Amino acid sequence: MKKDPYAPLGPAMDEKPKFWRSLEHKEGDPLVKAAISLEFPDGPPLLANSKVYSRRDALKLAGAGAGTAAVLSSCDAIPLRRPEEEILPFVRAPEKVIPGIRKMYATALPRAEGALGVLVEAHEGRPTKIEGHPDHPSSLGSTDVWAQAEVLRIYDPERREGPVHNGSAATWDAWEAFAQASGEAWGQNGGKGVAILAEEHDGPTFARLLNEFKSKYSNARLYRWDPLCPDATLLGASIAYSAGTRVAHDLTKVKTIFSLDSDFLASGPQHIALARQFGASRAIQASDDLAGMMRLYAAEGIWSVTGTNADHRLRIAPGLLPEVLKDLAHRLVTVHGVDLGPIGTRVASGSLPEDAQKFVAAVAKDLANHRGAAVVMVGERQPAEIHALGHAINAALESPSPTVLRHSADPRESMYDSLAALTKALNNGDVDTLIIFEANPVYTAPGGLKFGEALKKAKTVIHAALFPEETGAQATWHVPIGHSLESWGDAHAFDGTVSLIQPLIHPLFGGRSQLEILSQLLGVSDKSDKNLVEDTWRKDGATLASATSWRTALHDGLLVGSGFAVASGAPDFAAVAEALGENPGSAPSTTSFDLVADFGHAQDGRLTNSSWIMELPDSITKLCWDNAALMAPATAHALGIKSHVSKNKYSADVVVLEVDGRTIHVPVFVFPGISENTIAIHHGYGRKVGEVAKEIGVDVNPLLARGNTLRGVKVTRTEATATICSTQDHFSVPGNPFHEMTFEAATTQKKGAPERTLGLGSRQLYRSGTASEYKVDAEKIAKKGEIEGVLLGPSLGTTRPTQPVQGTDAIVYEGQQWGMVIDLSSCIGCSACTIACQAENNISTVGRDQVLLGREMHWMRVDRYFFGDVSDPTAVHQPVNCMQCENAPCEPVCPVGATTHDEEGLNAMAYNRCIGTRYCSNNCPYKVRRFNYLDYSHTGDIYVEPYWKERMKTFALQRNPDVSVRYRGVMEKCTYCTQRVEEAKIAAKGDGADRKALPDGAVTPACAQVCPTHAITFGNIHDEKSRVANLKKSARNYEMLQELNIRPRTTYLARVRNENEELA
């Protein structure tokens, strides 16, 4: 038989992929296949329900165009000359402010888990980008998704410009008069009936003012509510050690980690520092490094980022998780002779399933073998006593990781108890005036408490927060406060390091700082937030009394050596044993589900009004602009629930979740890796207010009571279906890109020949191996699935090149040549790179409707692949940005030369040259080019919808002035942050240095800068000594789709998993 010249050269097309993006991808759903071969599947051009563009707008637009034409033609002369522009210099130029040169300020973002030290970039007084603070213990130079999104919040036009009294705008004078009168009245009765509800993060100054408040108005009560607070973690330390302690971790000497339902790599206290240490140990470059490589075990019912990074993950129902740790403790005591004192008798081997028992036995053995180098991390969703048990095990294992710190002398009440006490007091009529700082309990309070109804019983509610939100809408007074980038303040990092907060900009909407508002209620109205912070630190004899020390601390953003005192002492085994109690866990069933409400990128909802956060696909599910009830395939099958792919989106059955008479309706997303009879759902959606966030997704709070794990949930299928938005199949890299190379292949279909839809051939885009494989042959891992010499094969006519366009050794580099290496071993999949890129490069968000058409604009995406068993797969992450191919397929097809190579190997993109043919994107095998289908940036010269014109007034201030803002019809993509490269070159010129030989590290793209694990390395590959050139020599280095010979400048280091052979 004659050979079909178009037959794929690689694995057969109909072979099912070993690494799959979704259940449908694995099964070869024709819609997924079709979506892969059509990069931008044709959707309806404009959605009828789109708020932004409708047919009516098209008519308006036509009208506007006609109007413009009429105006132009009626003029005598068409104004060819550009409009007059003004330059407004300073009257008195401030020292060190140079227009055009960015300035970095050290400050901190207060958080429940401890402040994050950051450096904020300001352009002519506008904060535009947040970077990590290299000297701050909680940042170490990196940040996370939430820090990146924080900068957008200050420009949100929904912030109020002044106080709101009973729903109508009031003046600051009116507020101040009210505050003074209230203060005087409370002075009379000692603040009877006054209550304050605050979040967790008190800085020293806020705490000082709260103490003054309590002593001045002795009858006033203080309550706390902060869903993001590491509450159980702190309470667990109180049980195991003593009240007012916390446990900080340091993984540098750790070899074996057991994570129980914990996401210590991606959220919670110290997550950036812990991720850095974890990543560093996993980035092995030689066999010797294997000895220091951490091994991570995780047990969880739902996915966490940490779980995706685990070498062994136990999928187990949330209801059984406490049993896992008890079982582990039992085994450590009975099998491995670890001394847990009285705890030993309180823990017994529970009723764990067989696979879990095997897992726990292996973990126990590994932990015991690594005594002195092992640690157990317990997640925030576990009860305090399980945290205490974790501390006890760590102490018994002589773990080098924990350090006990004393942060307070007071015993701690749990957040839930505090809010419940407030609700009770409100219902009893004990609270006349409630002052709420920042918290949004009307939305975030668990439904079981019925807080919203209780709040109505207070006579006066004062809500001091950045946005009115749901609580502000119910409040008597909403007092807008300044963002932490707009006001003075101070905060403690998790380890206690005092971090000073300084403003970068005068409050944009005129808000007052929290400190000022509290001070006004104390009857002091003449002190600014700066005065109040100075009162704390600069009083005679105070730490920063001298001007030098104050200025140094302000410059550094922190007070060196100001951490909490180390509390010595071993955990109290007896107290832990007592706290454990007798409450055996049980597995859920089809009639009684477990439900876990977890915090994704949207957190508890405080960040949902940021479009960056809403559009950022979840690290694991890749859901964006949506949340859903995740359910294992087997469970869904048993209940007859379906969710199926339908062109870029998922259509899902809606279920009713019911517990104790409280119900919510939520669509189901059938998702592998969730434990049976378990539902996972993200917090923060289903908001009632906020232009960005409202009416998107489902609010899980009404279902909840104490804690975020719920048992005994009844699930009933309804007849309704809903659309959910997941990008997991978007921008799939075609499995067999050769077919895109010929027109004929795409158009002709011979009889009997295999179907030529692209996409499912098993190209090994993601490569990984085990540590033992690495030890035997380090290069083998990176060569897995490599297709040898494809382009060197026999000539098959003119349709396919017969030899490499440019041989590997034929290329002689000159000067500096930029390249990037992404280490898949240390990448944890946190998605911070995606959003950092968005902030740096003025990337637009497109909205839910457009994402459903596959039009999201992120230049850097993080592909998540699964491999293994459908019900219990392993998940891996692969960040993909433009590879800056040396033989870039996008360049020759551009009819206008808008995309060309520069002399340093960057695949440049001249946006204003682009005419929008999209040929380049079609020809890009990695699918990393993004097209502005509509005016996503809202910068149109002719017509911008008034709604957007108004909104963009403030949002436009966030934009990076060094990067073009792209308009409709323009292709855009990653250029390794070419503006940063140029900036470094210009700086070198100014210094008289050679701009063609920048030192290693002179340029760091936004993605590499933000990366908590330093998984992304950028530099000059022509410099033998550079970090990136050395990484490219690594045995783990591989090119994605190397068989195409397009020579990508971004290469990957194959992941090495540190598997335990007993469990493999």
Partner 1 sequence: MAQIFPRWTNRSPTQVLIALLVFGGAVTFAFYWWASPSNTDVGYKPVQPVAYSHELHAGTLKIDCRYCHTYVERSQFAGVPSTQVCMNCHSQAKKDSPLLAAVRKSWDEGRGTQAIPWKRIHKLPDHAFFNHSAHVGFGVGDNRAAIGCETCHGRIDTMAVVKQVEPLSMSWCIACHNDPAASIRPVSAMTTMGWKPDLAWVEKAKGIAETLAPPGAFSRAQRQQQDGTYLTFATSGCNGCHR
- CB of 518 or CB of 974, closer to partner 1: 974
Which listed residue (105, 911, 948, 955) binds partner 1 by CB under 8 A? Answer: 911
- CB of 452 or CB of 815, closer to partner 1: 815
How would DSSP label each residue in 439-502? --HHHHS-GGG-HHHHHTTSSEEEEEESS-HHHHHH-SEEEEB--TTTS-EEEE-TT--EEEE-
- CB of 824 or CB of 914, closer to partner 1: 914
> Residue 950 Cβ, how far from partner 1 at the closest point, in Å?
22
- CB of 81 or CB of 751, closer to partner 1: 81
Rg of the chain, C-alpha, whole Å? 29
8 Å CB contact between 727 and 650: no
87 binds partner 1 (CB under 8 A): yes
975 binds partner 1 (CB under 8 A): yes
Of 92-100, 494-502, 506-514, 634-642, which part binds partner 1 (CB under 8 A)? Answer: 92-100
Instruction: Count the residues in the chain.
Output: 1064
- CB of 100 or CB of 541, closer to partner 1: 100
Start-to-end C-alpha separation, the chain: 44
x-marked contacts with partner 1 along 43-82 as a string, rule CB under 8 A: -------------------------------------xxx
- CB of 90 or CB of 743, closer to partner 1: 90
> Residue 131 Cβ, how far from partner 1 at the closest point, in Å?
19
Which listed residue (70, 71, 89, 751) binds partner 1 by CB under 8 A? Answer: 89
- Locus of tokens 């104004």: 79
- For residues 380 and 53, give the distance between their C-alpha atoms in angstroms, rounded to a whole number: 43
- For residues 513 and 181, give the distance between their C-alpha atoms in angstroms, rounded to a whole number: 20
- CB of 58 or CB of 101, closer to partner 1: 101
x-marked contacts with partner 1 along 942-971 as a string, rule CB under 8 A: --------------------xxxx------
523 binds partner 1 (CB under 8 A): no
Which listed residue (92, 456, 751, 1033) binds partner 1 by CB under 8 A? Answer: 92
Of the CA atoms within 13 Å of residue 912, those in its CB half-sphere come to: 3
743 binds partner 1 (CB under 8 A): no
Element containing residue 990 per DSSP (H, E): helix 978-990
Read off the tokens for 105. 């300020």
8 Å CB contact between 926 and 733: yes
Which listed residue (66, 101, 181, 915) binds partner 1 by CB under 8 A? Answer: 101
x-marked contacts with partner 1 along 835-874 as a string, rule CB under 8 A: ----------------------------------------
Which listed residue (3, 540, 912, 1024) binds partner 1 by CB under 8 A? Answer: 912
Of 83-91, 580-588, 713-721, 777-785, which part binds partner 1 (CB under 8 A)? Answer: 83-91
> Residue 99 Cβ, how far from partner 1 at the closest point, in Å?
5
8 Å CB contact between 885 and 870: no
Rounded alpha-carbon distances, angstroms, from residue 447 to 65, 84, 178, 988, 990: 52, 58, 32, 59, 61
928 binds partner 1 (CB under 8 A): no
x-marked contacts with partner 1 along 764-803 as a string, rule CB under 8 A: ----------------------------------------
In eight-state DSSP terms, residue 518 is: H
Of 95-103, 181-189, 364-372, 407-415, which part binds partner 1 (CB under 8 A)? Answer: 95-103
- CB of 946 or CB of 990, closer to partner 1: 990
Region 356-385 residues binding partner 1, contact defined as CB under 8 A: none
- CB of 542 or CB of 993, closer to partner 1: 993
100 binds partner 1 (CB under 8 A): yes
> Residue 809 Cβ, how far from partner 1 at the closest point, in Å?
13
Amino acid identity at 168: S
Read off the tokens for 130. 């947040």
- For residues 514 and 482, give the distance between their C-alpha atoms in angstroms, rounded to a whole number: 7
- Residue 1027 main-chain phi, psi, to 5 deg: -60, -40
Burial class (CB in 10 A: 0-12, 13-18, 19+), 945: middle
How would DSSP label each residue in 290-322? GGG--EEEEEESS--HHHHH-SEEEE--GGGHH
Which listed residue (58, 811, 915, 1064) binds partner 1 by CB under 8 A? Answer: 811
> Residue 986 Cβ, how far from partner 1 at the closest point, in Å?
4
**Nearest alpha carbon to residue 146 among 661, 830, 789, 733:** 830
SS (H, E, C) 201-226: CCCHHHHHHHHHHHHHCCCCEEEECC
8 Å CB contact between 156 and 610: yes
What angle is formed at CA 880 by the lines to CA 876 and CA 882, rounded to 5 degrees?
A: 170
**Nearest alpha carbon to residue 228 among 203, 195, 263:** 263
- For residues 200 and 144, give the distance between their C-alpha atoms in angstroms, rounded to a whole number: 20
In eight-state DSSP terms, residue 701 is: G
8 Å CB contact between 863 and 1042: no
Q: Are strands 930-931 and 971-972 parallel, antiparallel or unpaired?
A: antiparallel
Which listed residue (42, 84, 1024, 1061) binds partner 1 by CB under 8 A? Answer: 84
- CB of 95 or CB of 1061, closer to partner 1: 95
88 binds partner 1 (CB under 8 A): yes
982 binds partner 1 (CB under 8 A): yes
Read off the tokens for 796. 């098959």
x-marked contacts with partner 1 along 869-908 as a string, rule CB under 8 A: -----------------x-------------xxxxxxx-x
> Residue 832 Cβ, how far from partner 1 at the closest point, in Å?
23
Region 812-831 residues binding partner 1, contact defined as CB under 8 A: 812-815, 817
Alpha helices in 604-688 (DSSP H): 611-615, 633-639
* Positive or negative torsion for Cα 137, 143, 149, 151: positive
Which listed residue (55, 539, 996, 1025) binds partner 1 by CB under 8 A? Answer: 996
- Locus of tokens 């740790």: 325
> Residue 84 Cβ, how far from partner 1 at the closest point, in Å?
6
Q: How many other C-beta atoms are found inside a 10 Å radius of the C-beta of residue 989? A: 11
- CB of 825 or CB of 907, closer to partner 1: 907
> Residue 236 Cβ, how far from partner 1 at the closest point, in Å?
50
What angle is formed at CA 251 by the lines to CA 249 and CA 257, rounded to 5 degrees?
A: 100
- For residues 743 and 799, give the distance between their C-alpha atoms in angstroms, rounded to a whole number: 9
> Residue 996 Cβ, how far from partner 1 at the closest point, in Å?
6
Of 96-104, 625-633, 857-865, 1010-1018, which part binds partner 1 (CB under 8 A)? Answer: 96-104
Total residues at the site for partner 1 (CB under 8 A)? 55
Read off the tokens for 50. 């789109």
- CB of 424 or CB of 989, closer to partner 1: 989
Region 563-582 residues binding partner 1, contact defined as CB under 8 A: none
Of 32-40, 87-95, 435-443, 574-582, which part binds partner 1 (CB under 8 A)? Answer: 87-95
Which listed residue (304, 308, 513, 979) binds partner 1 by CB under 8 A? Answer: 979
* Positive or negative torsion for Cα 443, 444, 446, 452: negative
- CB of 400 or CB of 905, closer to partner 1: 905
Rounded alpha-carbon distances, angstroms, from residue 819 to 193, 766, 907: 64, 19, 11
Applying CB under 8 A, the residues found at the interface with partner 1 are 80-82, 84-93, 98-101, 811-815, 817, 886, 900-906, 908-913, 962-965, 975, 978-979, 981-982, 985-986, 989-990, 992-996
